[in-house]
């Protein structure tokens, strides 16, 4: 690791009792991803060479939920933040610079972390603490400064005197340390305090007494460092990320007609000149191209959309839509659907696990499941692929330029070759060769003098 780099120890072993949840606190999602992953991503973006996550409660769930490159360390018993950091020592070298973060601060940005690290280095400090002024500091550790303004110690809310509690500068729980000093000081930390825990912030007073240099960096915007302990605070974080993401998109050329009803997850990408109409929800790993119109009333989860496509009143999941497609209103795209350039899908159509070729039209009232449809196909109103026989799903294959008459049932497995025609109202159970017309319905009989006979 170069002198310009740091590694992180991210504390995430606690249960998060106040969440009242079976799930570890750090796995609760905001902006569509776990709080802990937000912290890991911010650290990586700020230049962290390695992220070590200390897990305890729900360790398997935490391991499975976060990115693979992360180093996991187990803290068997949660004896305090100081004890948690100690568990990571085997993965740290004496000459490393370590940034300590908490897994429950999803609003942190890479910019703040990068600046914090740079100041720590520039000041040649042994330890630095990131602080902020909190209008309502209850619950946080208070930063106690000496007459010369330097940090003397941090006092936990539960251990603080009335005078100390009136201090509004708080410990954000984010620190930079030179590793050798950190681990030396941690060995001296005791647990003679209100919570009978080994407090990490105690190392600051210990290092100060040993004559080491301590600095503090104050973050202007306290919101960035909010620690989430309850569902109420979770919703506050969600609202902040919601606003932040919309602003980022608008700065990059996306029009959002109604930001209040438009929700876009943190990792979603959207190209310039795309317009998002009201009541639109775009989440997961969705990527939307440039010049698209999305919404109103559209939900996309892990959907890719090519440039210039138009989607309205559409619910889509785990699907890929190429450029210049027009989808909606009232379309349901279920997982593993691939839609080629210029396709039109409209009015009450469901498509699942299917490929739809270039320029094909599925305009009205259809169910298309487990199908491979070629280019330039016209699927008449009400066409149904009969993909399920009660036991197994079967595929339907339709060649290029085929024409399927209205209200047809295509009983899979079945193949309709290029340029074939299907008469309206057919129930097709056999393959249709290229260029042929298949009609599979009973002939019409007209009964003469019917009314006369009835009388």
Taking the C-alpha atoms of residue 434 and residue 367, their distance in angstroms, rounded to an integer, is 23
Instruction: Please state, in angstroms and as integers, the Cα–Cα distance from residue 7 to each residue in 88, 98, 116, 213, following that order.
Output: 11, 5, 13, 20
By C-beta, is 35 or 311 nearer to ligand UD1?
35
Taking the C-alpha atoms of residue 200 and residue 448, their distance in angstroms, rounded to an integer, is 97
Phi, psi values for residue 264, rounded to 5°: -125, 125
By C-beta, is 229 or 347 nearer to ligand UD1?
229
Please report how the helices 110-122 and 35-45 are oriented relative to each other, as an axis angle in degrees rounded to 10: 50
Taking the C-alpha atoms of residue 327 and residue 14, their distance in angstroms, rounded to an integer, is 46
Least gap, CB of 23 to ligand UD1 (angstroms): 13
Instruction: Please state, in angstroms and as integers, the Cα–Cα distance from residue 320 to each residue in 9, 271, 339, 434, following that order.
Output: 38, 16, 6, 29
Least gap, CB of 170 to ligand UD1 (angstroms): 5
Least gap, CB of 202 to ligand UD1 (angstroms): 8
Least gap, CB of 148 to ligand UD1 (angstroms): 22
Least gap, CB of 249 to ligand UD1 (angstroms): 29
Taking the C-alpha atoms of residue 143 and residue 155, their distance in angstroms, rounded to an integer, is 7
Q: Is 47 left (phi over 0), alpha (psi -120 to 50) or beta?
A: left
Taking the C-alpha atoms of residue 114 and residue 112, their distance in angstroms, rounded to an integer, is 6
Alpha helices in 154-311 (DSSP H): 162-165, 179-186, 202-209, 231-251
By C-beta, is 189 or 373 nearer to ligand UD1?
189
By C-beta, is 14 or 380 nearer to ligand UD1?
14
Least gap, CB of 226 to ligand UD1 (angstroms): 8
State the greatest distance between any 2 C-alpha atoms of the chain, in Å, as a whole number.
115
The binding site for ligand UD1 (CB under 6 A) comprises: 11-14, 54, 75, 78-81, 83-84, 102-104, 140-141, 154, 156, 170-173, 199-201, 227
Place of tokens 């919570």: 195
Which residues are the active-site residues?
Answer: 364
By C-beta, is 104 or 317 nearer to ligand UD1?
104
By C-beta, is 96 or 104 nearer to ligand UD1?
104
Q: Which residues, including other chains, have CB under 8 Å from residue 327's CB and lie 6 or more apart?
A: 309, 310, 311, 312, 314, 316, 321, 333, 339, 343, 344, 345, 346
By C-beta, is 218 or 250 nearer to ligand UD1?
218
Helix (H, G, I), strand (E, B) or coil at 71: strand
By C-beta, is 154 or 381 nearer to ligand UD1?
154
Taking the C-alpha atoms of residue 360 and residue 374, their distance in angstroms, rounded to an integer, is 7
By C-beta, is 205 or 438 nearer to ligand UD1?
205
Least gap, CB of 141 to ligand UD1 (angstroms): 2
DSSP string, 46-69: TTEEEEEEEEBTBHHHHHHHS-TT
Here the tokens at position 64 are 């499975």
DSSP structural state of residue 444:
P
Least gap, CB of 125 to ligand UD1 (angstroms): 18
Least gap, CB of 155 to ligand UD1 (angstroms): 8
Taking the C-alpha atoms of residue 100 and residue 384, their distance in angstroms, rounded to an integer, is 57
**Nearest residue by C-beta to ligand UD1?**
141
End-to-end Cα separation, the chain, in angstroms: 99
């Amino acid at each position: 690791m170069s002198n310009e780099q740091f590694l992180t120890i991210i504390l995430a072993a606690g249960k998060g009792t106040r969440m009242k949840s079976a799930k570890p606190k750090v796995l609760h999602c905001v902006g569509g991803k776990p709080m802990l992953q937000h912290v890991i991503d911010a650290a990586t973006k700020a230049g962290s060479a390695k992220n070590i996550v200390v897990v305890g409660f729900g360790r398997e769930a935490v391991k499975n939920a976060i990115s693979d490159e992360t180093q996991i360390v187990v803290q068997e018993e949660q004896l305090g933040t100081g004890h948690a950091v100690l568990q990571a020592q085997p993965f740290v070298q004496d000459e490393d610079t370590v940034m300590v973060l908490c897994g429950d601060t999803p609003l942190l940005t890479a910019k703040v972390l990068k600046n914090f690290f740079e100041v720590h280095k520039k000041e040649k400090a042994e330890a630095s603490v990131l602080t902020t002024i909190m209008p309502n500091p209850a619950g946080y550790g208070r930063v106690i400064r000496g007459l010369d303004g330097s940090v003397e110690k941090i006092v936990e809310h539960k251990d603080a005197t009335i005078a100390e509690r009136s201090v509004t500068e708080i410990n954000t729980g984010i620190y930079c340390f030179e590793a050798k000093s950190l681990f030396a000081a941690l060995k001296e930390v005791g647990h003679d305090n209100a919570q009978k825990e080994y407090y990490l912030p105690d190392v600051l007073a210990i290092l100060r007494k040993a004559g080491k240099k301590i600095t503090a960096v104050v973050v202007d915007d306290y919101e960035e460092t909010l620690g989430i302990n309850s569902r109420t605070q979770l919703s506050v974080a969600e609202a902040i990320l919601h606003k932040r993401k919309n602003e980022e998109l608008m700065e990059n050329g996306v029009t959002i007609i109604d930001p209040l009803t438009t929700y876009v997850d943190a990792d979603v990408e959207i190209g310039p000149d795309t317009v998002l109409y009201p009541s639109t929800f775009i989440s997961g790993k969705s990527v939307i191209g440039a010049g698209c119109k999305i919404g109103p009333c559209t939900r996309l989860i892990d959907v890719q959309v090519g440039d210039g496509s138009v989607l309205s009143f559409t619910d889509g999941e785990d699907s890929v839509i190429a450029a210049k497609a027009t989808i909606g209103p009232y379309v349901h795209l279920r997982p593993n659907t691939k839609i080629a350039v210029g396709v039109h899908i409209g009015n009450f159509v469901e498509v699942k696990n299917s490929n739809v070729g270039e320029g094909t039209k599925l305009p009205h009232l259809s169910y298309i499941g487990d199908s491979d449809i070629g280019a330039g196909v016209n699927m008449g109103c009400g066409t149904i692929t009969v993909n399920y026989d009660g036991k197994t799903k079967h595929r339907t294959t339709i060649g290029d330029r085929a024409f399927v008459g209205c209200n047809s049932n295509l009983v899979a497995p079945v193949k309709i070759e290029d340029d074939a025609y299907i008469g309206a109202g057919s129930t097709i159970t056999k393959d249709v060769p290229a260029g042929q017309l298949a009609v599979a319905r009973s002939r019409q009989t007209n009964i003469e003098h019917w009314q006369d006979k009835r009388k």
